[in-house]
Structures are given as C-alpha cells and as structure tokens.
Amino acid sequence: MGQFSHLDNIKQILSNQREQKKIVFTNGCFDLLHVGHVRYLQEAKKQGDILVVALNSDESVKKLKGPSRPVQSEQDRAEILAALACVDYTFIFNEQTPEKVIKELKPNILVKGGDWKVSQIVGSDFVQSYGGQVLSLNFVDGKSTTKIIEKTKVDK
C-alpha cells in the first residue's frame, strides 16, 4: 500500500533512496479509477522501483475537464490511489501541468499513457536532459472516465 503525503515529505523520502532506486513518475486526474488506470499504473511500476503519482487537484481538474469534474474529491482520489499495491507515493498538485513538480522530484523515468507521444509529455525535455527516460505506455482502448460518465447518463 502506498503513502499519500505532501510533495516536501516525498522529496525528503526520495532523497534517501535516490542512489539505490529508480524513481518512476506519472501524473493525472484519476477521477473514476478504472481498469485502464490500474493496468497503466501496474505497467508504470514495472519500469522502476518506486512509483510516484502526482494527482491533479480538484481545481486543476475543473480547468482541464470542465465544471462537472471531478466526480470524486481530491482526497478520495488520493486515498484510492495510495491503496493500490503498485503506487508507492501520491500527492496532490495544483498547477495545470506537472512541470514544476517534475523539476523538483527529478525522476529517473517519466511515464504517461499511450495516448501521449513522448514529445508531448510535459517535462520530457527536462527528464531527458539529465539522462532520464520518458515512456509512453500501453493504452487500454475504450476505457476512460469520460466514457464511464457518458454511459451512466445513457443508462438512466
């Protein structure tokens, strides 16, 4: 089971492990956790030793997805992510993009889902500048929070 914490605490923990462990970083809204998310996070964890998930705050999700989102609060989403065996650490960030936190954490590996090209991944240039890897992992076709929400509206 992972740990939900603040960025400063995670930075401190990682500073003690950075020499021996590969740190994998990803981010997202993870509004309604579904099989696509779970498979993606499991695959992300396989890329290294420690998986850190930066979770968009409620405010940033509204800006990205619209006023009806998120469906679940940032606290609930963080607790759910932290409960997954593949997630080691998760924290909430308020910015529109994770660029600032990527620069603070300096992960060995930066990952996003397969719907992102490596060149489009925020922070890719920075991570590659110090020899880190940037990966676009497999995408589970047809699985998305938006599709789940749309299906619930149709079924009513």
Q: 44-66, pLDDT tens digit by residue? A: 999 999 999 999 999 999 999 89
| pTM over 0.85, yes/no | yes
Q: What CATH number matches the domain at 3-154, 2.40.30.10, 3.40.630.30, 3.20.20.70, 3.40.50.620?
A: 3.40.50.620
Supply φ then ψ for residue 102, to 5 degrees: -65, -45
pLDDT of 116: 82
pLDDT of 131: 97
Q: Is 104 helix (H, G, I), strand (E, B) or coil?
A: helix
pLDDT of 153: 65
pLDDT of 155: 54
Owner of token pair 């932290």: 82
pLDDT of 129: 98
What one-letter code names the amino acid at 60? S
Q: 80-106, pLDDT tens digit by residue? A: 999 999 999 999 999 989 999 999 999
CA torsion angle 6 4 77 68 (round to 10): -10
Mean pLDDT computed over 73-81? 96
Top pLDDT among 68 and 109 is at 109
Supply φ then ψ for residue 11, to 5 degrees: -60, -45
Cα dihedral across residues 57, 58, 60, 61: positive or negative = positive
Q: Is 56 helix (H, G, I), strand (E, B) or coil?
A: strand
pLDDT of 32: 86
